């Protein structure tokens, strides 16, 4: 398919979210508790093998780790990112999070 540049840019920008919005994937093939089964079925249908982990001994840093209960609300706290002093975090806190500076 050949598109004029303006039409390509228009179609491309349909997938760009406005500043401050986050993409949510609660639907489709990667949704819900059947995600692992769906991915396994897709790999089988496409005749693709599962990727091997690079370092078997290392923890998966993409998944949050439960570290305890919140002293304010009692909910579970998760580590979503760790970074070295002086480095910038990849994730910024949302506007709804109130930081306790005491």
Give the domain ranges of the chain. 22-50
Cα dist from 70 to 40, 52, 75, 76, 96, whole Å: 36, 35, 5, 6, 16
Residue pair 50/43 in contact (Cβ under 8 Å)? The answer is yes
Quote the tokens at residue 88.
């910038």
What is the value of pTM for the model shown?
A: 0.30
Residue 48: the pLDDT is 83
Tens of pLDDT, residues 38-79: 888 988 998 888 777 655 445 555 555 667 777 788 787 777
Is the pLDDT assigned to residue 9 strictly greater than 90?
yes
């Amino acid at each position: 398919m050949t598109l004029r540049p303006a039409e390509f840019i228009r179609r491309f920008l349909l997938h760009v979210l406005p500043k401050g919005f986050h993409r949510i994937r609660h639907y489709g093939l990667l949704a819900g508790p059947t995600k692992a089964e769906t991915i396994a079925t897709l790999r089988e249908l496409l005749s693709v093998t599962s990727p091997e982990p690079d370092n078997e001994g290392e923890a998966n840093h993409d998944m949050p780790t439960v570290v305890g209960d919140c002293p304010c609300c009692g909910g579970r706290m998760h580590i979503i990112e760790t970074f070295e002093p002086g480095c910038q975090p990849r994730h910024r806190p949302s506007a709804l999070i109130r930081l306790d500076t005491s």
